[in-house]
Amino acid sequence: MLPRPHHAMSVPVKQAFHIEEIFPSIDCGRFAVKRIVGEAVEVWADIYRHGHDVVAADLIWRREPESDWQRTAMMHHGNDRWVGSFVPEKTGRYSYAIEAWTDEFATWRHGFEQKRKANVATEVDAMEGASLLTRALSGGQEATVKIARACEIFLQSGKCESLLADDLKKAMAEGQDRTDLTRSKPLTLIVDRPKARYSSWYEMVPRSQTPQPGQHGTWNDCINRLPDIQAMGFDVIYLTPIHPIGRTNRKGRNNSLKAGDGDPGSFYAIGSDEGGHDAIHPQLGSLNEFRRFVAACAAAGMEVALDFAIQCSPDHPWIKQHPEWFKRRPDGSMKYAENPPKKYEDIVNVDFGSDDAEGLYRALRDVVLFWVSQGVKIFRVDNPHTKPFRFWEWLINEVQARDPDVLFLSEAFTRPKVMKGLAKLGFTQSYTYFTWRTERWEIEQYVNELAGYPEREFYRPNFFVSTPDILPYHLQRGEPWMFKTRLALAATLSSNYGIYNGFELLEHEPIPGREEYLNSEKYELKSRDWDKPGNIKPYIAQINRIRRENPALQQTSAIRFLPVEDSSVIAYVKHSADQTNVVVTIIALTGGFREFWLPLGDVQVRLGHGDLKPVTALENLKSGPTSPVAYGGMRLWIDPIHDPVLIFRCLG
């Protein structure tokens, strides 16, 4: 025989229910699911218990730090699968869970009705139901009145009909004791503002916004650019680092190791005698002028996003104020940043393993909060994958606990699981591998991955077509149709996308054999004619207008690729949440005239609040005319030299 345990075992007599396979849930609830304010959160779960008693379940939720739970009844969908939903009305962090219990009165009622049908119901059976009424305690006033009245009628008449009324069943569902109530483990939900899901980014280098060659740009120059950027339809202006630039080991043009006279240095070498991460490069202007720029952006319907790069020049004030935050080599020299074979002698990294790591954490948090106080609510974080994950989870929680409207974009071009891990930790949006996806099969495969479960619950992709660091090979020939193709792919595949200033001018001169710009403005001042002949600004404005007018393009996950036979043409359909707006996009991926059949036989659209209907016509969202759909599709052609993109709204 087994030995008797020294301590009595706790017997779970009331844990009658299994609550399993909760959806949505990221890594068994370790990380938060993401939604937009006003967007329904639909929750599914398997809920079951032993026996044949009637089960009831509620979906409960609360916004932190509130203590009171809100609730709504879940509905049985079949095969012990239950579903419920709620709509978060404020941004912030939420908890949600599922409660299940036995509905004793519904169980009695079902059994009593079965006995009545079989003519075996007795007076004792009816009294059993009435006794349940006397134990109902927790309902609201209306339910309590109904229960008391039904009990009184039964006691006076002895007739069981008063116990079988539908309104009593509803009142008892609310008011009866839930002796075996079981609650699932709480899960976390982050609710963001709409900009988290839908945004169009324009990456601006502030010092390059002046039209005068060799002259450093100012905030006034940036303000003067706003009407041009607004006209193209962008709603986020992302600024490369705006801070003072160090002089020690300053880089020269084209990343040369020695700066010449007048070379401004890399704006990623942050910090000098003029200040660090909470200061502005003096040649750009003052903090008051920056606030004026932020206000001018807001007046034009745009937001400012700042680059948050955790790295310092050797002249950064923290080097002297907090030497313990930095690593040194055995000989006492400063340890510069490296990414072999690249060396960044103008940059040193902070040491997150410092003895004063807590002080470093708080200082970096305070940098973000400082810029939030200046009106900035979006941060593009440079290389977050090279910093501790625990830091990002802490920082994002700390900032969003103070202001849940702050958004963070992860600029991490690294291993896919690391990129996804950063998104799970709290980054609102994420860079992707879109820049290097060029073949149809790999675009479809990659987008299906991002739009599938569980990625769609936590990973919001932002498709940048190029960056100051990356000039992809497919743009290096400067072909206008290719620039249009990549822009349209980014803007219609993903609801968040961006371009780097100069893209609209078809800038494409590379360092030979590399995916980098020659004469990069990371290391020099640059002036441009923003109305240079051959620019594609009207085309960009047209694509952004179509995005604004069609909710189907303002989300990423509701997408399906269509089987066009020509592998050089990609086609896909996207729809809004209510399916009243359905958009089909067709894009040529290679040059040359293309003619093909577009299959639409199973594409449907909802008319008003009615049922889904097959598509009967396509409205060209670029040129206007409407064409009928026949035989389940339409024959189309694309001439990329003329225009590589077709976009249609589906009509029923």
Residues designated catalytic? 382, 411
In angstroms, the CA 625 to CA 631 distance is 20
DSSP letters for 224-279? HHHHHHHHTT--EEEEPP-S-B--TT---GGG-SSPPTT----TTSB-BTTBSTTS
Amino acid sitting at position 643? D
Task: Find out whether 100 and 57 touch, Cβ atoms under 8 Å.
Answer: yes
Angle at 322 between CA 318 and CA 324, to 5 degrees: 130
CB 336 within 8 A of CB 348: yes
Query: Can you tell me the distance from the alpha carbon of 61 to that of 84, in angstroms, rounded to the nearest whole number?
Result: 11
Are 51 and 70 contacting, i.e. CB atoms less than 8 angstroms apart? no
User: Do you find a cis peptide bond into 644, omega within 30 degrees of 0?
Assistant: no
H helices present in 459-497, as ranges: 480-493
343 in a labelled binding site = no
115 is in an annotated binding site: no
Report the run of H or E that residue 16 belongs to, with start and end: none
**Spatial CA neighbour of 380 closest among 312, 458, 468:** 468
Residue 74 φ then ψ, to 5°: -90, 150
Long-range (24+ apart) CB contacts under 8 A made by 301-304 are 301/230, 301/235, 302/226, 302/229, 302/230, 302/234, 302/235, 302/236, 302/237, 303/195, 303/235, 303/236, 303/237, 303/377, 303/378, 304/236, 304/237, 304/238, 304/239, 304/375, 304/376, 304/378
Token pair, residue 380, equals 């593009």
Residues in CB range of 415: below 8 A, 6 or more apart: none
- Residue ranges with strand state E in 302-431: 303-308, 336-339, 342-348, 378-382, 407-411, 429-430
CA distance 358 to 346: 26
Alpha-carbon distance 429 to 381, whole Å? 10
Beta strand spans in 330-443 (E): 336-339, 342-348, 378-382, 407-411, 429-430
Q: Would the annotation count 177 as a binding residue?
A: no
What's the rounded Cα separation, in Å, for the pair 80 and 89?
A: 30
Distance from chain centroid for Cα 56: 33
Q: Give the burial string for 588-614 (b: 16+ CB within 10 Å, else e).
A: bbbeeebebebbbeebbbbeeeeeeee
Give DSSP secondary structure letters for 576-591: -TTSS-EEEEEEESSS
CB-CB contact of 336 with 343 (8 Å): yes
522 is in an annotated binding site: yes
CB-CB neighbours of 134 under 10 Å: 11
215 assigned binding-site residue:
no
- Is 383 marked within a binding site? yes
Q: Where on the phi/psi map is residue 95: left (φ > 0), alpha (ψ -120 to 50), or beta?
A: beta
Detail the residues annotated as belonging to a binding site for alpha-maltose 1-phosphate. Answer: 251, 311, 346, 383, 522-523
